[in-house]
Amino acid sequence: MNVARGYHTASTLPNGLVLVTGGEGKNGTALNSAELYNPSTGTWTTTGSMSVGRYYHAATTLANGLNPPP
């Protein structure tokens, strides 16, 4: 993990990667960053950030992995 965090979410994506979002940083602030973990290689990659930092939040993986059905 590139950024230490607690109280984050971790969601397994359909492609096997794990998306970790938000959390509380070392200084007690809510993080808006997100990272992808690849369990096959044991590597972390920084990905897009949320517009607002969050911790103690919830996340879910949708059926198609992207958007809710119409």
The residue-averaged pLDDT of 38-52 equals 97
Residue 10 parent element (H or E): strand 9-12
5 or 13, greater pLDDT: 5
Across 43-49, average pLDDT:
96
Taking residue 8's Cβ as centre, other Cβ atoms within 10 Å add up to: 22
Average pLDDT of the segment spanning 33-62: 95
Stretch 12-17: mean pLDDT, rounded?
A: 90
pLDDT at position 67 is 59
* Domain boundaries, given as residue ranges, for the chain: 9-47
Per-residue pLDDT, averaged over 32-45, amounts to 98
Residue in the block written with tokens 């950024």: 3
